[in-house]
Amino acid sequence: MSNDYDVTVVNENGNDVYYKPSDEEKILGMLLFLLNFFTAIVGPLIIWLLKRGDSAYIDHHGKEYFNLLISFFVYEIIAALTLLIGIGFILIPILSIIFLVFIVIGAVKAFQGEYYRFPLIFRIIK
48-88 residue pLDDT tens:
999 999 989 999 999 999 999 999 999 999 999 999 888 98
What are the residue ranges of helices labelled H in 35-116?
A: 42-51, 56-81, 88-112
Query: How far lies 112's CA from each of 21, 46, 108, 125, in Å?
Result: 10, 22, 6, 23
Smallest CA-to-CA distance from 71 within 7, 25, 113, 117 is with 117
Q: Residue 63 and residue 114: Cα distance in Å, rounded?
A: 14
3 in a structural domain? no
- Band of the pLDDT at 17, cuts 50, 70, 90? low
Please report the pLDDT score of residue 19 as a whole number: 73
Overall average pLDDT of the 85-108 stretch = 94
| Structural domain boundaries, residue 28 | 21-112
Which amino acid, one-letter code, is at 102? F
119 in a structural domain? no
104 in a structural domain? yes
94 in a structural domain? yes
118 in a structural domain? no
pTM over the 0.85 mark: no
120 in a structural domain? no
Q: What is the domain count for the chain? A: 1
Query: Which DSSP category does 49 fall into?
Result: H
Please report the pLDDT score of residue 1 as a whole number: 35
